[in-house]
Amino acid sequence: AHLLQLRENVHGKDLLLNGKAPGHGDIMCNPHLASVLKELAINGKAGFYTGRVAEAVAKVVQQHGGVLTEQDMAAHKATNVEPISTDYKGCRVWELPPNGQGMTALIALNILEGFDLKSMGRNSPTYIHHVIESLRLAFSDTLHYCADPEYNKLPLDQLLSKDYASKRRSMIEKSGVIPRSKLLMSDLNLQNGSDTVYFTTADSEGNACSFINSNYMGFGTGLVPEGCGFTLQNRGFAFSLDPHHCNALAPGKRPYHTIIPAMVTSAETNELLMSFGVMGGFMQPQGHVQVLLNMLEFGLNPQDALDAPRFSLGGIKG
């Protein structure tokens, strides 16, 4: 499917070898991308959001029916945000705030903290049931409330409170699922992809970087700006088309976003304990919860915690 996307785009051939996807051992040269990186090195942000790159991006979007302009590109500003957190068994888990979906993992952990998960046994039917129901509750909140905070005031303090978690926890029964009628509904499907890249690194002084990048669904839009050597993302897919939804499509607005690098510190000393993340669209907060529980509840080391089988909610509404 990704190959077809590139073949159908006039400049998609720039990312192919003789019309085919690069194979194992093939040498792939991308001089257009090298040129863009040089411009970034020399001009910084202006080398991408203005000038010939911005012109090429706006042009290819407009050629395919979009309305992005060079002025839109020039007006874009990245923001520094304060991470959100919750405490779980002596650890403080840090996630990205809305418009990112990090709140999902934190809400689920708050709910799960009230259960004796260790006695259930790792990945036992009872354990899986409780984690799934907690994630369903967490996602129902996230899909209802998560949006660009510059456009909507979100009740984050309430959603991340232990009191709220206690109320949500009381909805979970030992057997049987929470009826969908009792969950907040959303029109956003949970699409779990495989094109995200995550890495983390740390130095001897305790500094760490938790980094994640993704074009979102599939290969993004598959649109390749002329002379640029990269494809454009399609994050706009995560907007709601319901005009009354807090995540409704609007000019200049950031959509619900899936990528969420995370960190864990000591709740008592603030010492960095771990920098981590997983890949897979809406799987990410689900993976965060399961990897953390593998370590904090069942004592697995980081490698085993990541290698262990995981389950995923996907393709559902709520």
Instruction: For 181-230, write each residue's pLDDT tens digit.
Output: 888 754 444 555 556 788 899 999 889 999 988 888 767 888 999 999 99
**171 and 29 housed in the same domain:** no
Overall number of domains in the chain = 2
**283 and 176 housed in the same domain:** yes
**94 and 10 housed in the same domain:** no
**Closest among 137, 70, 64, 67 to 105, alpha carbons compared:** 137
**136 and 280 housed in the same domain:** yes
Distance (Å, whole) CA 145 – CA 151: 12
Q: End of a domain among 34, 55, 75?
A: 75
**159 and 178 housed in the same domain:** yes
CATH number of the domain to which 282 belongs? 1.10.246.130
**165 and 39 housed in the same domain:** no
**pTM, to two decimals:** 0.89
Q: End of a domain among 43, 75, 107?
A: 75
Distance (Å, whole) CA 47 – CA 60: 18
242, part of any domain: no
Contact 262, 279 (CB under 8 A): no
- Which residues on adjacent β-strands are paired with residue 277? none
| Residues with pLDDT less than 50, the chain | 186-189, 316-318
Long-range contacts of 192-195 (CB under 8 A, 24+ apart): 192/280, 192/281, 192/282, 192/283, 192/312, 192/314, 193/217, 193/218, 193/280, 193/281, 194/279, 194/280, 195/219
pLDDT for the residue 63: 94
Residues forming the active site:
196
29: containing domain: 2-75
**144 and 55 housed in the same domain:** no
pLDDT for the residue 302: 94
**156 and 276 housed in the same domain:** yes
**69 and 51 housed in the same domain:** yes
pLDDT for the residue 13: 86
pLDDT for the residue 175: 83
**97 and 181 housed in the same domain:** yes
Distance (Å, whole) CA 316 – CA 248: 19
Q: End of a domain among 75, 103, 132?
A: 75
